[in-house]
C-alpha cells in the first residue's frame, strides 16, 4: 500500500522522533524501574519473535501509572530493531513535550477528533513494516482482575484499514512477592496476524482482541499467584532486601556462619 501523504494538521511522530533521545530516555526508565521494582519479568517463553517485514501493534491492559515506563523498557530491550510509537493523552503530552521526541504523539481521548487523529496517525505509522505501535487499550486505569476485559473500539477499526498487521496482546500487573518492592510482571499472548483473520469486521476483530487479551491476563494472574521467578525471564533487577539495621544484622549473621550473604528476603539463612 502506498504511504499516505502527510497531513500538516496531524502530529508527525516519525519526523519528531530522535533515536538518541529514545536511547537516553530508555536508560532513565530502566533506572527508575530498577529503583522502584524488585524485578521486571516476562513470562516464559519471553519476548516473542515477530515476522520481519510486518508492522506490529502491541495492545495491553492498563493497571498502573508505571505502564508507560514498562512499555518503553519492553520496546527498547525486547524489540531494538523496530521503531516504536505510542499515543498519549494530549493534555499530558502538552506538559511533557519532550516525550514527542521519543515517539509519543498526542490524542484527545474521548473526542471524535481524537479518534480520527489516532486512526490517521496510526494508519500512517503501521504502513511502515519496521514500525511498532504500543497502546494501553483499556483507555483508563483498570484493575487487572476485572472481568470481562473491555477495550476501546479504535484499535479494531484501525487494524481493518490495513492489509496485514501482527497484533500482540500484552498482559501486565505489579504484585508484591517476597520483597518490600513489587514485581513488574508481563506476558505476551499468541500473536494475531490480521492477514489471516477471516471476515475482518471491526466488531469481530474487536471481540477477538478482547478474548485474547483476557486469556493472556488470566494466565499471567496464575503465574503471579504461583510466585515462581523461574517461570519468567528477568529483564532487569532492582535492589533486594529490607535495608537498614535489619539487613546489617543478616549480613553479620551470614558472615559469622561462613555463608554468602543474599540480600533477598530470607537470604543468608541456612
Instruction: Give the mean pLDDT per block of 10 residues along the chain (270 residues).
Output: 62 94 94 95 96 96 95 95 94 89 91 90 96 94 96 93 96 96 97 87 94 98 97 89 50 62 46
Per-residue pLDDT at 268 = 37
What pLDDT is attached to residue 68? 92
pLDDT score at 263 = 58
pLDDT given at position 113: 87
Domain ranges of the chain: 13-238, 240-270
What local confidence, expressed as pLDDT, does residue 47 receive? Answer: 96
Contact 162, 194 (CB under 8 A): yes
Domain 13-238, CATH among 3.30.360.10, 3.40.1130.10, 3.10.350.10, 3.40.190.10:
3.40.1130.10
Spatial contact of 205 and 185, defined as CB atoms under 8 Å apart: no
Sign of CA pseudo-dihedral 86, 65, 145, 229: positive
pLDDT given at position 267: 45
pTM score, whole prediction: 0.86
Euclidean distance between CA atoms 145 and 42, whole angstroms: 18
Handedness of CA 49, 51, 53, 56 (dihedral sign): negative
Q: What is the pLDDT of residue 257?
A: 65
Amino acid at each position: 500500500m502506498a504511504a499516505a501523504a502527510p497531513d500538516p494538521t496531524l502530529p508527525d511522530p516519525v519526523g519528531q522522533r530522535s533515536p538518541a533521545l529514545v536511547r537516553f530516555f530508555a536508560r532513565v526508565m530502566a533506572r527508575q524501574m530498577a529503583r522502584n521494582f524488585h524485578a521486571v519479568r516476562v513470562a516464559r517463553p519471553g519476548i516473542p519473535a515477530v515476522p520481519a517485514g510486518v508492522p506490529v501493534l502491541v495492545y495491553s491492559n492498563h493497571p498502573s501509572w508505571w505502564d508507560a515506563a514498562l512499555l518503553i523498557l519492553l520496546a527498547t530491550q525486547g524489540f531494538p530493531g523496530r521503531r516504536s510509537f505510542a499515543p498519549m493523552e494530549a493534555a499530558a503530552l502538552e506538559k511533557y513535550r519532550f516525550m514527542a521526541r521519543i515517539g509519543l504523539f498526542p490524542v484527545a481521548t474521548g473526542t471524535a477528533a481524537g479518534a480520527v487523529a489516532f486512526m490517521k496517525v496510526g494508519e500512517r505509522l503501521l504502513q511502515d513494516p519496521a514500525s511498532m505501535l504500543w497502546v494501553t487499550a483499556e483507555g483508563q486505569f483498570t484493575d487487572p482482575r476485572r472481568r470481562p476485559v473491555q477495550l476501546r473500539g479504535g484499535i479494531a477499526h484501525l487494524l481493518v484499514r490495513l492489509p496485514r498487521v501482527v497484533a500482540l496482546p500484552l498482559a501486565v500487573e505489579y504484585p508484591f512477592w517476597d520483597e518490600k518492592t513489587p514485581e513488574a510482571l508481563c506476558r505476551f499472548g499468541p500473536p494475531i496476524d490480521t492477514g489471516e483473520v477471516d471476515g475482518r469486521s471491526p466488531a469481530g476483530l474487536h471481540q477477538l482482541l478482547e478474548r485474547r487479551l483476557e486469556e493472556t491476563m488470566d494466565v499471567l494472574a496464575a503465574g503471579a499467584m504461583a510466585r515462581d521467578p523461574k517461570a519468567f525471564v528477568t529483564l532487569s533487577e532492582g535492589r533486594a532486601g529490607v535495608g537498614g539495621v535489619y539487613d546489617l544484622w543478616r549480613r553479620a549473621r551470614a558472615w559469622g556462619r561462613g555463608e554468602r550473604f543474599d540480600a533477598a528476603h530470607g537470604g543468608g539463612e541456612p
